[in-house]
């Protein structure tokens, strides 16, 4: 049985103790075991990272950038093997796994510009013989806690800016698909990163609690469910840590009467069902404006959904693969039954799907509901599976209200040819990331990623300049060099 160990001080670390099973979602069987850490291991790893961090921080930013450039090159060179490893534990198809890695790689590319990103402001002559400037310094030991659905992208979103800014970093990946995180840390070492700067700690709630409470861990970036994100944020903030905690989502696609419906349907197929719907930026709700739009859209959605191919992760013709676990499959099936019980119309039922030769795999065919209402629990909750719900709206204002009133505020998209409608939508909708004819509006790496309401807790977003601000603290210096002696002054200084 393959064993997945921790990674500390530049090498694999095996410890006897609790183990977790890592499944192959395509077959429904255990393929590896992962060691689960404890509070003592957190102490040991934090101490090691704390000892290694000052020398890394003292290295000038250009030299740190050279390591990140080499890290980028090595990720690109190992793209195929990384994608296959990722797909084998998560279940997403290999092409989608490459996209997962690529979106993380783009953040590595962004922080290759760290010498420029760390530059502070300078004011000469702010007062007589007085200059003022600010500098951005690393925090020390930082940590990232990441979910199962993006085993490469989200760890890189956190690790790349944390490390480039001069911090040491402890990554706690999901215990469901942990191998890619270890491989990324190994590649970072190969790129020239000093030992102790990029560490991987496997575990469950025990190690999460220990990281949140550890005095040497100065900042934590977290992605997971909203309830846990809120709890982690509150505990970390009360302990004086810098925290950013991203939660769940229920993203809407608003379809205006003038939209190109063929293009909408093509976009929705990937946005709703790609990666089996296991994306925080998936589009599980489609909201056509007007009954005529709804009926036309429905008639186009049904054959498009029926044509989707569900297959194993290595099938190059599959549109998506299995969900991550048997428990998650059962949860999704429970929500499908709940939708029926709540009175929504089950147009296409994805339950009961079986793939020959992989009957024990965690496969679900796509599901479509129509006539879903905002009062339904299946609408309010994040299902996180290949389930698309249609909620009909009678006007643009009603559609904006749907997205704005939902407790999640991660992403939303509008499909229209009307610039005025799109502009009004952007101005009024209470959601953090907005797409105009873009079904999955994940910002590029030099902007930032973050939702509103129960989708995000904390003031700074993921990646972009917000990540540089999150992983550094600003020190502002007011200096005077003068040959003229100053007189005594008991008033507050003014310039």
What are the pLDDT digits (tens) for 335-349? 999 999 999 999 999
pLDDT at 495: 61
Q: How many CB atoms lie within 10 A of CB 475?
A: 11
pLDDT at 487: 67
pLDDT at 486: 63
pLDDT at 492: 75
**Helices then strands (H, E): number in the chain?**
16, 23
Torsions phi, psi for 234 (to 5 deg): -65, -40
Q: CA 242 from chain center: how many Å?
A: 18
The CA distance from 203 to 211, in Å, is 11
Question: 């990554």: which residue's tokens?
Answer: 171
Is residue 32 within 8 A of residue 85, CB to CB? The reply is no
The CA distance from 350 to 83, in Å, is 27
What are the pLDDT digits (tens) for 290-313? 999 999 999 999 999 999 999 999
Is residue 418 within 8 A of residue 399, CB to CB? The reply is no
Residues identified as active-site: 280
Question: What string of DSSP letters covers 24-69?
Answer: ETTTTEEEEEEE---HHHHHHHHHHHHHHHHHHHHS-HHHHHHHHH
Domains of the chain: 2-247+455-477 (3.40.605.10), 252-436 (3.40.309.10)
3-state secondary structure of 32: strand
Q: Which two tokens stand for residue 19?
A: 């183990």
Report the DSSP pairing between strands 387-390 and 367-370: parallel
The CA distance from 465 to 165, in Å, is 12
Closest CA to 406 of 287, 288, 231: 287
Is residue 49 within 8 A of residue 197, CB to CB? The reply is yes
pLDDT per residue as tens, the chain (495 positions): 899 999 999 999 999 999 999 999 999 999 999 999 999 999 999 999 999 999 999 999 999 999 999 999 999 999 999 999 999 999 999 999 999 999 999 999 999 999 999 999 999 999 999 999 999 999 999 999 999 999 999 999 999 999 999 999 999 999 999 999 999 999 999 999 999 999 999 999 999 999 999 999 999 999 999 999 999 999 999 999 999 999 999 999 999 999 999 999 999 999 999 999 999 999 999 999 999 999 999 999 999 999 999 999 999 999 999 999 999 999 999 999 999 999 999 999 999 999 999 999 999 999 999 999 999 999 999 999 999 999 999 999 999 999 999 999 999 999 999 999 999 999 999 999 999 999 999 999 999 999 999 999 999 999 999 999 999 999 999 999 987 766 677 677 766
């Amino acid at each position: 049985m393959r064993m997945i160990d921790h990674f500390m001080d530049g090498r694999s670390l095996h410890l006897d103790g609790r183990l977790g099973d890592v499944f192959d979602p395509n077959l429904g069987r255990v393929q590896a075991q992962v060691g689960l850490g404890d509070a003592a291991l957190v102490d040991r790893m934090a101490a090691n990272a704390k000892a290694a961090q000052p020398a890394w921080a003292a290295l000038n930013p250009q030299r740190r950038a050279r390591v990140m450039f080499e890290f980028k090159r090595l990720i690109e060179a190992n793209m195929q093997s990384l994608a296959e490893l990722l797909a084998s534990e998560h279940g997403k198809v290999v092409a989608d796994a490459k996209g997962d890695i690529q979106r993380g790689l783009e953040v590595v590319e962004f922080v290759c510009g760290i010498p420029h990103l760390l530059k502070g402001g300078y004011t000469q002559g702010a007062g007589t013989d007085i200059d003022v400037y600010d500098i951005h310094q690393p925090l020390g030991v930082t940590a990232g806690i990441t979910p199962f659905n993006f085993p490469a992208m989200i760890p890189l979103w956190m690790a790349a800016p944390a490390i480039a800014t001069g911090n040491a970093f402890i990554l706690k990946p999901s215990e469901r698909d942990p191998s890619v995180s270890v491989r990324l840390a190994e590649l970072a070492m190969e790129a020239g990163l000093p030992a102790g700067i990029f560490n991987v700690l496997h575990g469950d709630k025990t190690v999460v609690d220990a990281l949140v409470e550890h005095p040497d861990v100065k900042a934590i970036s977290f992605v997971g469910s909203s309830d846990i994100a809120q709890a982690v944020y509150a505990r970390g903030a009360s302990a004086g840590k810098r925290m950013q905690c991203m939660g769940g989502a229920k993203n809407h696609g608003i379809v205006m009467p003038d939209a190109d419906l063929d293009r909408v349907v093509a976009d929705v197929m990937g946005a709703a069902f790609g990666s089996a719907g296991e994306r925080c930026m998936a589009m599980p709700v489609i909201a056509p404006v007007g009954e005529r739009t709804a009926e036309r859209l429905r008639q186009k959605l049904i054959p498009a959904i029926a044509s989707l191919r569900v297959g194993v992760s290595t099938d190059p013709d599959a549109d998506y693969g299995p969900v991550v676990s048997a428990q998650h499959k059962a949860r999704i099936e429970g929500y499908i039954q709940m939708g029926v019980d709540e009175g929504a119309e089950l147009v296409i039922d994805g339950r009961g799907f079986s793939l020959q030769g992989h009957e024990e795999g965690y496969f679900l065919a796509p599901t479509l509901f129509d006539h879903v209402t905002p009062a339904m629990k299946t609408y309010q909750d994040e299902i996180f599976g290949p389930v698309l719900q249609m909620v009909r709206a009678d006007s643009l204002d009603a559609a904006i209200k749907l997205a704005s009133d939902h407790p999640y505020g991660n992403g939303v998209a509008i499909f229209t040819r009307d610039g005025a409608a799109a502009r009004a939508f952007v101005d009024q909708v209470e959601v953090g990331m907005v797409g105009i004819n873009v079904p999955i509006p994940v910002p590029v790496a030099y902007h930032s990623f973050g939702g509103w309401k129960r989708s995000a807790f904390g003031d700074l977003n993921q990646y972009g300049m917000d990540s540089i601000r999150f992983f550094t603290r600003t020190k502002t210096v007011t200096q005077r060099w003068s040959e003229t002696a100053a007189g005594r002054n008991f008033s507050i200084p003014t310039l």
